[in-house]
Amino acid sequence: MSTLTILQRGEPVLSAIAKPIHNIDSAEIKQLIIDLKSTVALAKGVGIAAPQVGQSLRLFIMCSAPSERYPDAPLLAPSVIINPEITHTNNEQELGWEGCLSVKGKRALVPRYTSIEVKFLDENGIKHAQTLTGFLARIFQHELDHLDGITFIERLDHESDAIDEQQWRNIISPTKNCD
């Protein structure tokens, strides 16, 4: 198990459409899954996509727990998502704060669908179809964007709509950040 370097916005792989995975059982894919889990845990993220570590493959990890970055996050054990698709969305979108391990130090209110129907393979090649809502739907959409060469910054009307982490901390918890 090793920790991988998380690439930052501007790296070409982060703006490319990732390739589907055809051999889930390959040693390379199994190792990448192990390393992605380790990397996202160390970075204290709620998800990480293969392109963020330089691998143009349709694979991401979703994991969630309350943290400093996402205090209201629900609990979700690390879940491997391979060749994901959104098959249906509701028409309702809501704004929610997002950050990204590949866009260090920035936050923005990003519109996302509140409910999505998805299908994907897990690390054992088992097909899944499920409905995701709320924060988990947000994570899935954010990570799927990475597989399509999009960061949350591209979802904004203007890049200047993103704020830095300290501004964000003051907005979400102004009394805790008065120094």
Q: Residue 91 is part of a domain; what is its CATH number?
A: 3.90.45.10
Active site residue 165: no
Task: Summarize pLDDT for 154-175 with one digit per residue, the tens.
Answer: 999 988 889 898 888 788 775 4
Task: Summarize pLDDT for 128-154 with one digit per residue, the tens.
Answer: 999 999 999 999 999 999 999 999 999
Res. 177 pLDDT band, cuts 50 70 90 = very low
Task: Summarize pLDDT for 65-121 with one digit per residue, the tens.
Answer: 887 777 788 999 999 999 999 999 999 999 999 999 999 999 999 999 999 999 999
Question: Buried (b) or exposed (e) across 6-40, using 16+ Cβ within 10 A?
Answer: bbebeeebbeeebeebeebeeeebeebbebbbbbb
Task: Summarize pLDDT for 42-78 with one digit per residue, the tens.
Answer: 998 999 999 999 999 999 999 998 877 777 889 999 9
Examine residue 178 and state whether it is found in any structural domain, yes or no: no
Examine residue 66 and state whether it is found in any structural domain, yes or no: yes
Examine residue 85 and state whether it is found in any structural domain, yes or no: yes
Q: Mark out the alpha helices in 112-158 (DSSP H runs).
A: 134-147
Examine residue 177 and state whether it is found in any structural domain, yes or no: no
The domain total for the chain is 1
Burial of 85 (0-12, 13-18, 19+ CB in 10 A): exposed
User: What pTM did the predictor assign?
Assistant: 0.92
The pLDDT score that the predictor gives to residue 1 is 65
% the chain with pLDDT above 70: 96
Taking residues 5-28, what's their average pLDDT?
Answer: 97
The pLDDT score that the predictor gives to residue 174 is 56
Host domain of residue 135: 12-172
Residue 178 has pLDDT above 60, yes or no: no
Examine residue 6 and state whether it is found in any structural domain, yes or no: no
Pick the catalytic residue from 92, 123, 143, 165. Answer: 143
